[in-house]
Amino acid sequence: MAKISAAIFLSASALLIGSAPVKAQDTESPCSTGDHRAFDFWLGDWEVIPRERQPGDSVGRTSSITLAEDGCAILERYRTSTGYSGMSINFYHAALGEWHQTWIDNQGAPIEMKGGIEDGRMVMRWTPSEGRAARMTWTPMEDGTVRQHWEFRDEGEELWQTAFDGIYRPKPH
Average pLDDT over residues 142-149: 97
Render pLDDT for 95-134 as a digit per residue (tens, 0 to 9). 999 999 999 999 999 999 999 999 999 999 999 888 899 9
Q: What is the pLDDT of residue 2?
A: 44
CA 3, 69, 86, 63 dihedral sign is: positive
Give me the pLDDT at residue 52, please: 77
Q: Where are the alpha helices (DSSP H) in 18-164?
A: none
Is residue 63 packed enough to be buried (19+ CB in 10 Å), middle (13-18) or exposed (0-12)? buried
The predicted model gives 20-40 an average pLDDT of 76
> In this predicted structure, what is the pLDDT of residue 122?
98
DSSP 92-124: EETTTTEEEEEEEETT---EEEEEEEETTEEEE
Distance CA 34, CA 25 (A): 23
Q: Are 115 and 98 in contact (CB under 8 A)?
A: yes
Averaged pLDDT for residues 78-90: 96
Q: What is the three-class DSSP state of 41?
A: helix
The reported pLDDT for the residue numbered 23 is: 46
Count CB atoms within 10 A of the CB of residue 146: 23
40's CB contacts (< 8 A; 6+ apart) are 67, 74
pLDDT at 57: 56
**Does residue 146 surpass a pLDDT of 80?**
yes
For residue 168, the model assigns a pLDDT of 96
**How is residue 159 annotated by DSSP?**
S
CA atoms of 148 and 76, how far apart (whole Å): 13
Neighbours of 168 (CB within 10 A): 25
Q: Is residue 61 pLDDT above 70, yes or no?
A: yes
The model's pTM? 0.80
pLDDT of residue 173: 76
pLDDT at 81 over 60: yes
Per-residue confidence at 53, pLDDT binned at 50, 70, 90? low
